[in-house]
Structure 1
């Protein structure tokens, strides 16, 4: 996914995490880019994977958002299903 998004490097940052427990895993992350709308529809190359994920706009004033961003940027904690952090990748 990151290879196809190379043109976004000057405009976006993300921390993607793999959470895993007993053979079950999830991939999720926090993306930050310029503007207020999803950037992926702007290019066909960026649209390949983005529909596979659920996207939610975060409120920077919300305490839960602050905790979530801290977790993803520090690569710690668990996902909503209780799976522990396994590995991460930064897009910058």
Structure 2
């Protein structure tokens, strides 16, 4: 997960990876705390824009909706 922007003007965005085609959050009520607050989109491994997006998030750099990368957190 990444935070883009500055205090009082920021956005949270990230890439989640798991096996299967459905949202994993529906498998446990503990995981459903705020997942509906986000917009979810399935990424295509063949799409060049997806490859650029994943690379940007893994490197913790770039922009999201015009806001520069601020900080990130990896969840395992």
Q: Which runs of 5+ in 1 are unaligned?
A: 1-15
* Counterpart check, 1:23 vs 2:2: no
* Counterpart check, 1:72 vs 2:57: yes
Whole-angstrom distance in 2 between the partners of 1:22 and 1:31: 24
Structure 1 residue 22, shift from structure 2 partner: 6.4
Q: Greater strand percent: which structure?
A: 1
Runs of 4+ in 1 over 4 A off after TM superposition: none
TM-score (norm 2): 0.94
Whole-angstrom distance in 1 between the partners of 2:43 and 2:28: 23
TM-score (norm 1): 0.79
Q: How big is the alpha-carbon RMSD for the aligned residues of Structure 1 and Structure 2?
A: 1.1
The size of the alignment, in residue pairs, is: 76
Q: How does 1:48-59 map to 2 (within 5 A)?
A: 48-59=33-44
* Counterpart check, 1:89 vs 2:70: no
Q: Which runs of 5+ in 2 are unaligned?
A: none
